[in-house]
Structure 1
Amino acid sequence: MTTPHVPGDAVDLTMMYAFHDGLRRDAVTIAKSAAITGDDPARLTATHFGWDLFKRFLIIHHTAEDDVLWPRMRELLGDRADDIEMLDAMEAEHDRIDPLIAAIDAAIADEENGHANLADATDAFVTELNAHLAHEEKDALPLIDRELPPADWAKFADGQRNQIGLGLAPRYVPWLLDGATPERIDQVLAIFPPPLVAQYRAAWKQQYAELNPWSVDYGKA
C-alpha cells in the first residue's frame, strides 16, 4: 500500500466511490447489528473487525480530506463564495460525524446501563454519514473532478495509502471490495500494483471472508 500513486491526465475518482460503497455497506450492517445487540455489543466489535475496523478506515479517510484535500481545494478556489461554502459544509459534516462515533464507543462501553444508548447513537451516526456521502458525491466530487490537478489528487491518495500501510493492507483491500460488482473489483484492482493484487487474490480475500463476520462472503470461503 506504500507504492505512490502515479497521476494521469485526469483525476480518477474510482477509489473514492469504491470507498463510499464500502462505508454504505457497513452502515447497513452497523444499524442492523445495533438494533438487535441488546446487552451484547460484541456483535459490533467481533474480533478486530466490525465497528473498530470500519471506524479506523473512516477516520483515516476523513483526516486525509480535512488535512490535505479540502485545504488544497480552498487554495484553488480562491474567493468563489458558493464553492467555499460547500467546502465549509463538508468540514462541518465531518465535525458532526466525529462526536457520533464517540457516542457509539461510549454506548458500547456502557455496561452499567446495558448499552441502552447504542441503537439511538447508531441511528444518528448512520443517518449523518449517509447524508454526508450523498452530499459529497453530488457537489464535492464533481468540483474535484473539474478543479483539482491529478498530481494533487495523487498526494491525497498517497496520504491515505501511507496511513493504511502494509500492516492494514490485508484487511483494507478485501474490505474495500467486499460485495462489490465484478466491474468495480476490476476497476479498483487495476489501480493497485500487481504484487498486491496477487496477494489479494491468493490469500487476503479468503482470509478476510473466513475471519470477518461482517463480510458478504463470511462462511463461504
Structure 2
Amino acid sequence: MHNEKMADSRDMIGAHDAMRREFGAMPALIAGVPAGDADGTDVVARHVLMMVDFLHAHHTSEDDHVWPRLRERCPDDVEPLIETMDRQHAFIDGELEALAAGGRRWRASADATDRDAVAAVAERLLPALYEHLELEEERILPLIDRYLTEREWKAAVEASFGKVTFARRLLMLGMALNEASEEQAQLLRAAVPAVVWHVGRPIGSRLYRTHRRRLASASRGSAL
C-alpha cells in the first residue's frame, strides 16, 4: 500500500450535494402532486424509489468497502466515529424503508392521504441525512484519503454504481453534474473511467434534464 497512490475522496462531496438537492426538494415535490393524478403520482413515486435505491447503494458500499478498512488501519480511537457512522446508517436505512413502502402504496393509490404520509417521511428523513453527510465530509473523508489507496476508493465507488442499472448510472452522473462547480466536475471526471466520462457525461446530462422536466410536469411543488 505504501507504494500506491492514496485516495482523493473529494468526489464524494459532489455525490452528497446531489443527495442534498434531491432529498431536500422531495417533500414539496411529493406534496405538489394533485390527489388522484395517477400519471403524476407514478412519475414522482418512481423518483422517490429511485433515490431510495441510490442512497442505499451509496451506504452499503461504504459498509462493505470503507468501514472495514478504516477499522483495520486507523488508530484505535477512531472506533467511536465508525460506530456513529454505523448507527446513522441504520437509522437512515430504516427511514428509507419507510419511504419506499409509503412510496409504493402511494403509487398504487394516488391517494392524498398516502401522498401526505410519504411527504411526511421524506421531511422527517432530512435532519438525520444532513447531519450524516456533514459529519462524513468533516471526519471520514480525511481518513479515507489517509488510509485507503486510490484503487481501493475507486473500487468502493464502483461498487455503489454497480448496484444500479447502466441507464441509472448515467442519470446519477447527470444528477451529480447538475449545478456542480468546475472543480467538482473535474473530480468526478477523475473518479470514473475515461470512456464513461466522455460518453456518459452528455448522455447523463440529457437524461437528467428530461427527468427534471417530467418531475416539473407532475408536481406543482417541483423545485428541481
Q: TM-score range by the shorter chain?
A: 0.7 to 0.9
Letter in 1 for 2:21: R
- Per the TM alignment, residue 62 of structure 1 is displaced from its structure 2 partner at its CA by 0.4
1:29–1:214 CA contact under 8 A, matched in 2: no
Structure 2 residue 187 is matched with structure 1 residue 187: yes
Residues 31 and 126 in structure 1, CA contact (< 8 A), matched pair in contact too: no
1:4 aligns to what? none
Per residue, is there more helix in 1 or in 2?
Answer: 2
Alpha-carbon separation, structure 2, partners of 1:102 and 1:196 = 31
Shift of 1:60: 0.9
Unaligned runs of 5+ in 2: 217-224
**How far off is 1:196 after superposition?**
2.1
By how many angstroms is 1:63 displaced?
0.5
Relative contact order (alpha carbons < 8 A, sep ≥ 6): 1 or 2 greater? 2
Deviation at 1:58, TM superposition (A): 0.8
Q: CA deviation at 1:201?
A: 4.5
Matched position secondary structure for 1:179: coil
**87-96 or 47-56: bigger deviation:** 47-56
Q: What is the rounded CA distance, in whole Å, between the counterparts of 2:74 and 2:101 in structure 1?
A: 39
**Matched residue, 1:173:** 173
Whether the 8 Å CA contact 2:73–2:147 is kept in 1: the answer is yes
Hey, what's the Cα distance between the residues in 1 that align with 2:112 and 2:168?
34
Q: Which moved more, 1:158-167 or 1:54-63?
A: 158-167
Q: Distance in 2 between matches of 1:44 and 1:181?
A: 32
Q: Which residue of 2 aligns with 1:13?
A: 9
Deviation larger for 44-53 or 66-75: 44-53
Counterpart check, 1:60 vs 2:57: yes
Give the TM-score of the pair, scaled to structure 2.
Answer: 0.78
* Structure 2 counterpart of 1:24, one-letter code: R
| Alpha-carbon displacement from aligned partner over 1:163-186 (angstroms, at most 9, x marks no partner) | 346343322211221221233223
Q: Does the CA contact (< 8 Å) of 2:4 and 2:149 recur in 1?
A: no
Root-mean-square deviation (Å): 2.9
CA contact (8 A) 2:70 2:143 kept: no
Matched residues in 2 for 1:165 and 1:120: separation? 29
Unaligned runs of 5+ in 1: 1-6, 217-221
Post-superposition shift, 1:20?
0.5
Residues in 1 aligned to 2:137 and 2:96: alpha-carbon distance in whole angstroms: 22
Percent identity reads 23
Deviation at 1:129, TM superposition (A): 0.7
**Alignment match of 1:86 (pick from 63, 81, 93):** 81
TM-aligned CA deviation for residue 56 of structure 1: 1.6
- Structure 1 residues 21, 72: CA separation in 2 closer, same or farther (over 3 Å shift)? same
